[in-house]
């Protein structure tokens, strides 16, 4: 009986030590997944703009039917053909692909309501997007930068 209690105590100690690092591990994986989805959407927008010969935009969207403001990126985003006014969806048929709400406690901050790629592969204005866990304690965040030339880069940064 004493051996069983000792073994259970050792297991309890190991679980207590592993739980915080497991939380950081899952949080970092969620941030990486959202980062990869955003980069995939940006790459899709760029390739579709050059393929179609018309501007293609990626923007935050709550309902996958219209663009929302810059605070709504965590609720989802869409890529759409944008031949008309910048950041405005003319028809539901213009939507190329949509992404749903980011899972977990993920926070997306950006300086732009949308990123629009031109048929040349360049963007109308450079943009920066930060992807981070809301609890970002001891974790890392991802910083996505879209240059004026349309190139996408991502950097791993320590949370403030």
CATH code assigned at 131: 3.55.40.10
Which of 28-42, 72-86, 128-142 is predicted with the least confidence, judged by mean pLDDT?
128-142
Q: Which residue has the higher pLDDT, 13 or 53?
A: 53
d(CA 91, CA 45): 17
d(CA 53, CA 120): 8
Map tokens 């204005």 to a residue: 125
The radius of gyration of the chain's CA atoms, rounded to the nearest angstrom, is 20
d(CA 44, CA 57): 10
Q: Are strands 106-110 and 95-99 parallel, antiparallel or unpaired?
A: unpaired
Domain span holding position 83: 2-158
Percent composition of the chain: helix, strand, coil (DSSP 3-state, to 5): 40, 30, 35
The model's pTM is 0.80
CA 38 vs CA 43, 71, 78, 81, 146: distances in Å:
9, 15, 10, 17, 11
pLDDT tens per residue, range 77-109:
999 998 877 777 888 888 899 988 877 777 787
Q: Do the Cβ atoms of 111 and 127 come closer than 8 Å?
A: yes
In this structure, the number of other CB atoms found within 10 A of the CB of residue 153 comes to: 10
Tokens of 138: 């001891």
Confidence of residue 137 (pLDDT cuts 50, 70, 90): low
């Amino acid at each position: 009986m004493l051996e069983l209690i000792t073994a259970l105590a050792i297991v309890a100690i190991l679980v207590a030590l592993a739980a915080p690092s497991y939380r950081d591990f899952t949080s970092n994986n969620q941030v990486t997944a959202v980062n990869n989805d955003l980069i995939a959407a940006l790459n899709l927008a760029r390739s579709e703009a050059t393929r179609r010969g018309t501007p293609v935009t990626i923007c935050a969207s709550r309902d996958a039917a219209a663009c929302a403001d810059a605070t709504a990126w965590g609720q989802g985003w869409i890529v759409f053909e944008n031949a008309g006014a910048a950041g405005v969806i003319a028809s539901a048929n213009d939507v190329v692909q949509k992404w749903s709400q980011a899972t977990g406690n993920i926070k997306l901050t950006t300086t732009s309501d949308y990123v629009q790629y031109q048929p040349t592969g360049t963007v109308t204005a450079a943009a920066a997007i930060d992807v981070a866990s809301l609890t970002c304690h001891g974790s890392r965040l991802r910083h996505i930068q879209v240059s004026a030339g349309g190139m996408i880069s991502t950097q791993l940064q320590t949370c403030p």
